[in-house]
Amino acid sequence: MAVDATPADETGLVAGGVTPSPLTQRWRVRLQSLGCRLNEAELEEWAERFQQQGLRVVGDEEAADLVVVNTCAVTQEAVRKSRQILRRSQRRNPGARLIVSGCLATLERESMAREAGVDLVVANPDKDRLVEVALDTLEVPAMPELALSSLANPLFTRGRHRAFVKVQDGCRYQCTFCITTQARGEERSRPVAQVVETVNRLGQSGIHEVVLTGVHLGGYGSDSSGGQDGSLTGLIAAILAETDMPRVRLGSLEPWDLPDRFWGLFENPRLMPHLHLPLQSGSDAVLRRMARRCKTQDFDRLVETGRAAVPGLNVTTDIIVGFPGERVGDWQRTLAFTETMRFGHVHLFSYSPRAGTLAASLPDQVSPRIKRERCQELQALAVRMKLEVMRTQVGKRIQVLVEGSGEGAGGQIWSAYTPNYLPVRVTGDDPRVAANRLVEVILTGVDANGCVLSGRPADPFRS
C-alpha cells in the first residue's frame, strides 16, 4: 500500500524528510526501544526481517544508515525519554533515516512527524509491516542475497542473550491510570503453532532462553485466535512439549486469569520459577479507584498458591505511589501488605497524571512532596525484602545463563540470572564460562548493597 508523505492518514503512517540517496553497500540499521518487554520483542522481530532483506543490524556504538525507535507513552516520563532518544539519535546520526513507532507514535502521530529528522512514523496497527513500509517508502536498498540466517545474530550484536517473543497484543480492560489500551487496541493472539515455530527457530540459532510477552499476557487466546487450547496455559504446554528451548520465562502477568492447572506447568524445570504480578496498591480502596480486578485478599491467595506449588518461586511486582485519593491509611496498608508478600523486587512508579486517562481527572491528587517521601519509604522496604530473598539463595548450586562480562579486581566478572530471576555476578577466569552459555554455579554471597548475588563456577564443572 502506498504511504502518503504528508500528515497522518487513516492507516497511521506518516512519512517525511529528505529523499534518500542510493547506496551500493549493505545498510546498517540500529534498533532502539524504550519501555516494556513487548517493545523489545517487536524490535527483535524487525531485526530478523531487516536481516532477511540484507541489512546489517548494528550495536548502539556503531554508525547507522537507518535508525528505528520504538517509543513508550505509559507515563509522562516515558514520553519525555522517548523524545529525548529521538533527538539524541538524530544528533548522533544526522544523515541516517529515522523511523518512529510505538505507543507515543500512535497517540501523537502528527507531533512525532514534526520532530527534527523524523522520516517515517509507523503507528501500532501497522507495526507488523514496518520493515516492508520502510523499504518501500524510504527506498532502502534491499540485498536479500546477502541475508544472514541466524536469528541470534541481531540479538548478540545488541548485547542481548535472551529472546523476547511476542505472543499477544492489546488489552480488554480499562484501568483508570493506563493509556496502553488506547495505544495498543483490541486483544490479538498469535496462533500456538506460530509461536512454537518461532521458539524452535530461536533455539536452532543458539538462543537458550525466551521470554513470552504481551500487553495482557494472561488473556492469551481470549480472541479465539490461539488455536488448540487457546489459553496461556495451553500455549506454554505446547512450547514445553514441542520445543527443546532450555529456559522459558513469562513476562508480566496480571494477578488474575491463572487457572489451577497453570501451576502444574512448573513441574517442568524448563519453565523458570519467577512471576511478575503487578499489585499497584496494597489498599483495596485505591485498587477500586484504579479499576483493578484483583483485591489484596485475592492477590495474597494467588501468591500463596503459587509458592506452595512452585518451590523457590520468586514473585516481583509493580506499585504506583501517590495515586489520586491515596490517604495516609491507604499508604500504611500498602506498606504493610507489601511487606507480607516478601517480593524479590518492587518496581515502583511515582504517579503522574497521564493525559487521556480517567485517573488524570480524579480529585485529591497527591502532592509531589508526599509522593517523594512515600517512594523513599517503599524503596527502603523493597531493598530490605530483596536482600532477604537473596540471602535464602546463598549456598545453592544452580544453573545460570551467562550474559555479559567486565573486568574486576578479582579478574573477569560475568553477569547472569538465576532461574528465579535474581542477578548474579560470577567471578573468576575459568575459560569454560562464556557469554550465552548455561553453566552451574555455587552462590556464595550477596554484595554490600544487597542488589546482586555473587557466585563461582561449580566443581565439578558441568555446562
CATH number of residue 334's parent domain = 3.80.30.20
Contact indicator for 206, 148 with CB cutoff of 8 Å:
no
Whether 190 maps to a domain, the answer reads: yes
Q: How far is CA 435 from CA 119, 383, 400, in A?
A: 36, 28, 11
332 plus 225 within the same structural domain: yes
Q: What is the pLDDT of residue 94?
A: 85
Whether 333 maps to a domain, the answer reads: yes
Contact indicator for 39, 67 with CB cutoff of 8 Å:
no
The model's confidence at residue 56, banded by pLDDT at 50, 70 and 90, is confident
The grid coordinates listed for 277 are 504480578
Residue type at 330 in one-letter notation: D
Per-residue pLDDT at 164 exceeds 80: yes
Q: What is the pLDDT of residue 10?
A: 36
Q: What is the pLDDT of residue 440?
A: 93
The 8-class DSSP code of residue 200 comes to H
Q: What is the pLDDT of residue 67?
A: 93
Mean pLDDT calculated for residue range 245-260: 94
Q: What is the pLDDT of residue 9?
A: 38
> What CATH number corresponds to the domain at position 450?
2.40.50
Average pLDDT, the chain: 87
pLDDT digits (tens, 9 = 90+) for 331-347: 999 999 999 999 999 99
Whether 140 maps to a domain, the answer reads: yes
106 plus 229 within the same structural domain: no
Domain count, the chain: 3
Full domain range(s) for residue 354: 157-391
pLDDT digits (tens, 9 = 90+) for 344-371: 999 999 999 988 899 999 999 999 999 9
Q: How far is CA 317 from CA 60, 180, 218, 281, in A?
A: 30, 18, 15, 10
Alpha-carbon span 49 to 356, nearest angstrom: 34
Q: Which residue has the higher pLDDT, 227 or 452?
A: 452
The vertex-190 CA angle with 306 and 192, nearest 5°, equals 65
Q: What is the pLDDT of residue 91?
A: 85
Q: Which residue has the higher pLDDT, 198 or 1?
A: 198
pLDDT digits (tens, 9 = 90+) for 403-428: 877 766 666 789 999 999 999 999 87
Q: What is the pLDDT of residue 149?
A: 60
332 plus 370 within the same structural domain: yes
Q: Which residue has the higher pLDDT, 91 or 264?
A: 264
Pairing of strands 345-350, 314-321: parallel
Mean pLDDT calculated for residue range 193-201: 95
Alpha-carbon span 396 to 399, nearest angstrom: 10
Q: What is the pLDDT of residue 17?
A: 41
The grid coordinates listed for 383 are 531493598
203 by DSSP, 3-state: which? helix
The model's confidence at residue 273, banded by pLDDT at 50, 70 and 90, is very high
Identify the weakest region by mean pLDDT among 148-152, 172-176, 255-259, 326-330: 148-152
Per-residue pLDDT at 145 exceeds 70: yes
341 plus 417 within the same structural domain: no
Place of cell 511476542: 166
Q: Which residue has the higher pLDDT, 176 or 159?
A: 176
The grid coordinates listed for 86 are 529521538
Whether 242 maps to a domain, the answer reads: yes
> Where a domain ends, among 146, 178, 196?
146
Integer Rg of the chain from CA: 23
Whether 313 maps to a domain, the answer reads: yes
Contact indicator for 272, 233 with CB cutoff of 8 Å:
no
pLDDT digits (tens, 9 = 90+) for 12-28: 444 444 334 444 478 89
140 plus 229 within the same structural domain: no
How many Cα atoms within 13 Å fall on the side-chain side of residue 132? 7
Q: What is the pLDDT of residue 150?
A: 63
> What CATH number corresponds to the domain at position 19?
3.40.50.12160
Alpha-carbon span 205 to 201, nearest angstrom: 6
253 plus 106 within the same structural domain: no
256 plus 134 within the same structural domain: no
Whether 75 maps to a domain, the answer reads: yes
The model's confidence at residue 153, banded by pLDDT at 50, 70 and 90, is low
Q: What sign results for the dihedral spanned by CA atoms 41, 42, 48, 50?
A: negative
The grid coordinates listed for 74 are 505509559
221 plus 296 within the same structural domain: yes
Beta strands in 128-172 (DSSP E): 163-166, 168-169
The grid coordinates listed for 396 are 545453592
The grid coordinates listed for 432 are 569454560
The 8-class DSSP code of residue 19 comes to P
Alpha helices in 274-367 (DSSP H): 284-290, 296-309, 328-341
Answer yes or no: pTM beyond 0.95.
no
Q: What is the pLDDT of residue 151?
A: 63
250 plus 344 within the same structural domain: yes
Alpha-carbon span 212 to 208, nearest angstrom: 13
Pairing of strands 66-71, 97-102: parallel
106 by DSSP, 3-state: which? helix
Whether 227 maps to a domain, the answer reads: yes
> Where a domain ends, among 391, 415, 448?
391
pLDDT digits (tens, 9 = 90+) for 77-125: 888 899 888 888 888 888 899 999 999 999 988 888 888 789 999 999 9
Whether 44 maps to a domain, the answer reads: yes
356: phi > 0 → left, psi -120 to 50 → alpha, else beta; which? Answer: left
Q: What is the pLDDT of residue 212?
A: 97
With a CB cutoff of 8 Å and minimum separation 6, the contacts of 460 are: none
354 plus 218 within the same structural domain: yes
> Where a domain ends, among 146, 169, 200?
146
Q: What is the pLDDT of residue 232?
A: 95
232 plus 312 within the same structural domain: yes
Residue type at 214 in one-letter notation: G
Q: How far is CA 183 from CA 75, 106, 107, 109, 324, in A?
A: 13, 6, 6, 11, 23
172 plus 316 within the same structural domain: yes
The model's confidence at residue 154, banded by pLDDT at 50, 70 and 90, is low
The 8-class DSSP code of residue 317 comes to E
The grid coordinates listed for 176 are 483508570
